[in-house]
A and B are shown apart, each in its own frame.
Chain A
Amino acid sequence: MMKKSFMTGNEAIAEAAVQADCRHFFGYPITPQNEIPEYMSRRLPEVGGVYLQAESEIAAINMLFGAAGAGARVMTSSSSPGISLMQEGISYMVGAQLPCVIVNIMRGGPGLGGIQPSQSDYFQATKGGGHGDYHLLVLAPHTVQEAVTLTMEAFDLADKYRNPVMVLGDGYIGQMMEPVEFGRKTRQSTHPLKSWALTGAKGRPPNLVKSLYLNPKELEEHNLEINKKIQDMIKNEVRVETLLIDDAEIIIAAYGTVARIAKTAIKVLRERGLKIGMVRPITLFPFPYETFAKISKRAQKVLVVEMSLGQMVEDVMLGLSGQGCVRFYGRTGGMVPSYDEIINETEKFITEGKA
């Protein structure tokens, strides 16, 4: 058996990045993710890496642009307001087809909001965020162990698609401590050759990393190339966990910490003889639309629970394509739904139907 460590999600994400050969970290402090830069500031020098605290999130994301352009494995982490500041740079990195990993440990918004857990950056993370025709690949862990696995995979996926990948957790994923295992079992890294990187053009034609295409015909071709990668992500990278859905009359759809809370609610409801199951999207983009399309034929009712006022619910409805009956329950501003609340909502759904 591998040695278990007891770590916060933040520390575990940072260690996972180091073990996935990330050697460059640029960031700016913000609660509730400060343990990531703190850990990196100590750990990266030990492995010959570079930790640099930028003067702002805008500077940090542009440092990622530079390092990724030179072929380095790079990461930044922040929380909601900081991620908003990074959007321009993220869009530029997509445009320049540069891989990187961005960790967003979400807190309540809008604006400066608060520091308690939230999932209200779902739209921003999955629908673009910055300007232009693009998507990030978005991974949403619900345990510290899964945060490790997904962070490691995030680097490989970023390299594979030459596109930024976001690890999207709420404040509790960052702050919670759980047992976690590192090691080869969780690690199957690939390092594709980065022939496009700016590594010095001696003996080869120079490479060019840019997102400016003034000729609309060229830009359209460029965007179609980016879109081809997005279509490949949709085809190849959808990940989803389903729980007890075969006989379920009601499906709870949730991700991240809320999915954990919902699992307890489902256990209680099952003990009461109610047929409740769960769909937990692990990739928020690409979204597991097909899973919902399939369950629309079986379960009549889907309860979507989020720490927001209703964002993922729109993708669930797209997946169901007008079939079945959707009810939404959300808390916002840093309030976390309890399993009692989810149990109540589920029972109300049975008697009342749609909210």
Chain B
Amino acid sequence: MEKEISKPLYTNLILAGFGGQGLMFIGKLLAYSAMKTGKYVTWIPSYGPEMRGGTANCTVVISDEEIGSPVITSPQALIIMNNPSLKIFEPRLQPHGILLFNSSLITHQISRKDISAISIPANDIATKVGEKRTANMVMLGAYIARTMVIPKTAIFRGLEEFFGKKKQFLKANKQAFERGMEYTS
């Protein structure tokens, strides 16, 4: 994606997958980290009766200007981590939008030809990092590498604040994020 320097930033995305894959978490982390760089942000969860193993999604908007609608029907980007979510959200992506999908778990074909679909074996990469639960961070790393919405350092600062005292998780999460970035660069 080409970036115009003069144009104020406005971007939105939907993150979806199984409950427990950490989509809500990386959505919050992205929004929080962007807020810390001075952006306007909104984060809206799906708050249906989801549970671990069910589907969950959230919508994030990041902007240099005040945000109107926090509700997005056709997002500019998607981070999708399972088959059911792909089925729901692929048709809703904007033309020329970015679809980042977790190819470790997604077996369905991507049907749209008018989008940039980027395959990321997030679970495999996370396993190699040594912490299977960081597949979400791999996806976020891929998203940041692809869009450059905010710098890596901003995400890392956010991560440090989120994890606080739980330093043991920090290293693996940072590594997973970097592997995700490298994979898509």
Contact = CB atoms under 8 A, between A and B. Distances in A.
Interface of A: 4, 6, 31-32, 115-116, 171-172, 175-179, 257, 260-267, 336, 338-340
Interface residues of B, number: 20
Contact of B69 (A4, A6, A177, A260): A260
Interface of B: 28, 31-32, 35, 40-45, 47-49, 67-71, 73-74
A176 B48 CA distance: 14
13 contacts: A4-B35, A6-B41, A172-B70, A175-B47, A176-B44, A177-B42, A178-B43, A179-B40, A260-B67, A260-B68, A261-B71, A264-B69, A338-B71
Contact of A6 (B35, B47, B71, B73): B35
Nearest to B65: A267
A265 B69 CA distance: 8
Nearest to A339: B69
Contacts of B71: 172, 257, 260-261, 336, 338-339
A176 B74 CA distance: 18
A260 B70 contact: yes
B42 A32 contact: no
A171 B35 contact: no
Contacts, number: 65
A177 B73 contact: no
- The 7 closest A-B CB pairs, nearest first, are A264-B68, A263-B68, A264-B69, A177-B43, A338-B73, A261-B69, A179-B35
Given A257-B70, A264-B68, 20 more contacts: A6-B28, A6-B31, A6-B35, A31-B47, A115-B47, A175-B44, A176-B43, A176-B70, A177-B44, A178-B41, A178-B43, A260-B67, A260-B70, A262-B68, A264-B69, A265-B68, A336-B71, A339-B69, A339-B71, A339-B73
Given A176-B43, A176-B44, A177-B43, A6 B32 contact: yes
A260 B70 CA distance: 7
Contacts of B74: 340
Q: Which of B31, B43, B69 gathers most chain A CB within 10 Å?
A: B69
A144 to B, nearest CB: 9
Contacts of B48: 115-116
A178 B69 contact: no
A117 to B, nearest CB: 9
A31 B46 CA distance: 12
Contacts of A257: 70-71
A166 B44 CA distance: 24
A141 to B, nearest CB: 13
Contact of A267 (B35, B44, B68): B68
